């Protein structure tokens, strides 16, 4: 009876491992097709575009802040009662 039990467990584990390997191979095969590669590149380019857009916005904000500091340092604040208006 023990032999039957352990044989069944072995068969079950082997079948599970075989299914998992087959799924992994199918995913890898699909990822290496032209459409899979194009999808991966599109996702990567989208992320890169977002990163560049964020970086550009941060640089512009820093430039505006520095410009305000330099203007204030050179000429003083011409309108001390009005808040600084940031350009878009």
Which tokens is 23 given? 């799924």
* Threshold 0.75, pTM exceeds: no
Residue 26: predicted pLDDT: 93
**What is the spatial distance between Cα 53 and Cα 59, in angstroms, rounded to a whole number?**
10
Burial of residue 36 (number of CB atoms within 10 Å: 0-12, 13-18, 19+): middle
Dihedral sign, CA of 19, 25, 43, 58?
Answer: positive
Query: Angle 12-13-16 (CA atoms, 0-180°, nearest 5)?
Result: 85
**pLDDT tens digits, 29-70:** 888 888 888 888 888 898 899 999 999 999 999 999 999 888
């Amino acid at each position: 009876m023990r032999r039957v039990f352990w044989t069944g467990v072995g068969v079950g584990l082997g079948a599970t491992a075989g299914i998992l390997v087959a799924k992994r191979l199918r995913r890898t095969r699909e990822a290496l097709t032209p459409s899979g590669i194009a999808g991966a590149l599109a996702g990567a380019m989208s992320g890169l575009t977002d990163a560049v857009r964020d970086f550009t916005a941060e640089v512009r904000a820093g430039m505006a802040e520095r410009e305000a500091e330099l203007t204030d340092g050179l000429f003083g604040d011409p309108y001390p009662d009005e808040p600084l208006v940031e350009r878009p």
